[in-house]
Structure 1
Amino acid sequence: MKISIILPSMAALLAIAACAPSRISDAEAGHRGAVAFLKQATRKALSPQERAALYLSSAAQSAKLLDSPEAGTAARETYNSSAADLTVLLASADGGRLWNKPLTLTSGGTTWRLRFAKPTRDGVWDPARFTAIVPASEVDMKHLDQRNRRDGIGGALVGVRKMSPPEPFAPPLAGVNAPVTAVLDFKGQDVTLSLLDPADKMNASISGKSRVIEGDFSAPLAHYPKGSELWDGLMGAIHVSAYMKNTGLYMLQPYDPDRIPLIFVHGLISTPRMWRNVVNEVESDPELRGKYQCWVFSYPTGNPPAYSALRFREELDRVYQLYPAAKDYVLVGHSMGGLISHMQVTTLTRDSWDIIGKKKADNFFAGVEKDKKESLLLRSTVFKANPHIGRVIFICTPHRGSEMALGSLGMIGMRLIALPVDLTATVTGALQTSLSEISGTPGRFPNSVTGLSPKNPTLKVLDQATITAPHHSIIGDRGKGDTPDSSDGVVPYWSSHLDSAKSEKIVPGPHGACEMPETITELRRLLLLHLGKN
């Protein structure tokens, strides 16, 4: 009887114990408090100052737990969210009135004294450089093949600088984007908000300890406006006038005199967007990231290559005038973009053209020199190599033309292209006849398709000129014929091969082989070579 009474009592006690909440650790309790602050900070009914103070309370509580075995990982996530959300709030609230100035912020009896870190050359951004701050987590990544991130401490952001009128070499519709990592360092109630460049900085001191900082290297690239590469490329080839205003050299990252300008030049029926995954791969590589700054040259591809090369030459001259201390550029050109890049590293004189026939050359230059308004033609045909180009990488480039320009597709393209009136109007009468002779287009004004014809005498002149910068070839092979009888489907090996190239890499792919793993690997090797790393 005694046992039968005791056993039910013990069972009841055990059941009660099982239902009682288990005791949480101090670290877990602290983290719950940080999460509560973070949740309160999102309440739009509060003033921006109160919300900012709550974000700081959340980050401060989380920072104390970063080394906790029980709550460290969760605390880091809360800290990162608090730092990112606080930075976005300060940049956007009250028309930016709270941005980049000392603040005293109070909430729930806690007062914080916040200041922004001063900019430095070693990876601390100037808050004043940005006109908007965007959370990296909210950027649509669907146009990139992969997202390149580095796990660490800090809020991952995109810093945007968009000015009106646009600054030199800034994409006019988007401005210039940059990777930003926001970190908060607490000394009692004094807080420093630092906007770091994760490409330049690997670590930051937080809570008395050096820690790896978070970095999202894809979000700034993905934040640029989307569009149809095929449609815009096609329209840029056919309706040239509508796209002439977009011709220019554009920075994809803020200018940095310590980084080498890496300039990508697209080909026919294409746009700079074709390089997005290639640029993303460069930015994903710790050995390249921070050493190069990526630029693109944009142009409507219906224009004759020599004219587009002239515009590129003028843009590079502008870069040197504005940034004379810039490091020598590295050019990467695909297809016709390679041909345009080729024309930046060769010198053509009046005598260079005698190779196509002295009489033809004499007739052309006699007409050009009569009228100064024809200087456009003179500058397109007589020019000096740019001494500030340190290396060129040609990808599937038709140095001697493509037979596709002679076929039915080429003929259709030739007839569809409508060149700008202000370009065609510069050439009239006898000069038009002599121009058509030296460009291999009897009876018509040259365009991009005629410029890629193997019969174009201009390519013969260019082929005889010395390339002044170290250069390399990446050549596609669809596997339809062994080199030297191979082709990428558009450009045959005999056209893309250069005896003078420092190296030549055959990749098993078609003409659009820029994003192939073998191409990316070779491009990386060459960029490291330029840095003296292999």
Structure 2
Amino acid sequence: MAPALLMAACASHPPSKDNASRQHKASATPRQALAQALADAGQAWDAGMETEEGRLRYHTAASRVVNAWIACHDGCPQTASDNLATSGSDSFQIRTSSPSDLHFDKLIPASTVPTRELHTRFTREGVGTPLIAWWKYTDERAATEPFMGKAGYLVPVTATLTFGKSSQAGRRTAVIELKDPRQQDSVVMKQHKFPLAADFSAPGEFFLAQAQARMSGLGGLLSTETNLGKLGLISLEPPKKDRIPVILVHGLMSRPATWQNVSISSGAIRRSRASASSTSSATPAESP
């Protein structure tokens, strides 16, 4: 093993351009990575999406932009004040938009959330980058949001990226939009209509991975006093007056996670924007 390591360390061949490029990208700051991703996505946008190759190229580049945008602002892009990015001769002004009723502290790429608890991962192929919008729990918020659990509110969103023309000053506008994939199943880009990508299971998987949400059905039955803090109605997102509440009650030796596959897999619940809640109860007397 030692000679092999020594030979590798003493190799006389210089690193390839591809390796050098990867090393440069790995060492780039978040702001530099964002600017480079924008430059690449802008080229892919200009090249068009008429072919499958062109769509794949743009989708890959746009996803890099969204992930770099999130990383650049420490997972909370909506509070960023500086939305300028420059890469070489390319300069970009980033504009963002989201539904007026969407509240979040952090955006989480759905691709980083593994499948562990849910039987099936419900997704939709298309353009855009699926994300989770996480509005974290605080005592102040719980005072006005009685259905907010300790894990906070989690909703699926999809980020799309479009480009405008360069200004006279040479600066180009890049627009990142957060869309609700339950209400919008397609998007128009460059006069072409495409399905809007979605990951409906990611919020549930993320929720069930939080320590505040984990609960053993048998443990709840045998150790009621230790689970009283998890008792009650829990909603994964803020209830709305225009939504139909769906209350799911689990059994005595069970837990809220029992209903996750049902609530996420139901297309009717998603399309009607229903607010699916589950009850966490440890004894029959405590059930609603």
TM bucket (normalised to shorter chain) is 0.7 to 0.9
Correspondent of 1:290 among 246, 262, 271:
271
Correspondent of 1:206 among 189, 212, 219:
189
Q: Distance in 1 between matches of 2:80 and 2:191?
A: 24
Richer in helix (by share): 1
Q: Secondary structure at the match of 2:50?
A: coil
Kindly indicate whether residue 240 of structure 2 is the aligned counterpart of residue 263 of structure 1: no
Q: Secondary structure at the match of 1:268?
A: coil
Gap regions ≥5 residues in structure 1: 1-35, 313-534
Kindly indicate whether residue 234 of structure 2 is the aligned counterpart of residue 246 of structure 1: no
Kindly indicate whether residue 38 of structure 2 is the aligned counterpart of residue 56 of structure 1: yes
Change (3 A) 1:267 1:91: farther
Q: Secondary structure at the match of 2:270?
A: coil
Kindly indicate whether residue 164 of structure 2 is the aligned counterpart of residue 190 of structure 1: no
Change (3 A) 1:162 1:90: same
Q: Deviations over 1:107-135 (max 9, x none)?
A: 112100111115346xxx4xxx2222211
Q: Secondary structure at the match of 2:27?
A: coil
- In 2, are the aligned partners of 1:251 and 1:294 still within 8 Å (CA)? yes
Instruction: Return the letter of the residue paired with 2:89.
Output: G
Instruction: Return the letter of the residue paired with 1:207.
Output: K
Change (3 A) 1:295 1:65: farther
Q: Secondary structure at the match of 1:52?
A: helix
Deviation of the 1:84 alpha carbon: 3.4
- In 1, are the aligned partners of 2:117 and 2:208 still within 8 Å (CA)? no
- In 1, are the aligned partners of 2:158 and 2:178 still within 8 Å (CA)? yes
- In 2, are the aligned partners of 1:153 and 1:211 still within 8 Å (CA)? yes
Q: Secondary structure at the match of 1:223?
A: helix
Kindly indicate whether residue 258 of structure 2 is the aligned counterpart of residue 274 of structure 1: yes
Q: Distance in 2 between matches of 1:142 and 1:56?
A: 33
Q: Distance in 2 between matches of 1:112 and 1:236?
A: 53
Change (3 A) 1:70 1:45: same
- In 2, are the aligned partners of 1:41 and 1:54 still within 8 Å (CA)? no
Q: In percent, how many aligned pairs have the same letter? A: 26
Deviation of the 1:214 alpha carbon: 0.7
Deviation of the 1:42 alpha carbon: 8.6
Correspondent of 1:109 among 70, 76, 89:
89
- In 1, are the aligned partners of 2:252 and 2:281 still within 8 Å (CA)? no
Specify the alignment match of 2:60 in structure 1.
78
Change (3 A) 1:226 1:263: same
Q: Distance in 2 between matches of 1:42 and 1:294?
A: 46
Change (3 A) 1:220 1:66: farther
Q: Secondary structure at the match of 2:269?
A: coil
Higher relative contact order (CA 8 A, sep 6+): 2
Correspondent of 1:176 among 149, 153, 176:
153
Output the TM-score relative to the length of structure 1: 0.44
Gap regions ≥5 residues in structure 2: 1-17, 166-171
- In 2, are the aligned partners of 1:55 and 1:85 still within 8 Å (CA)? no
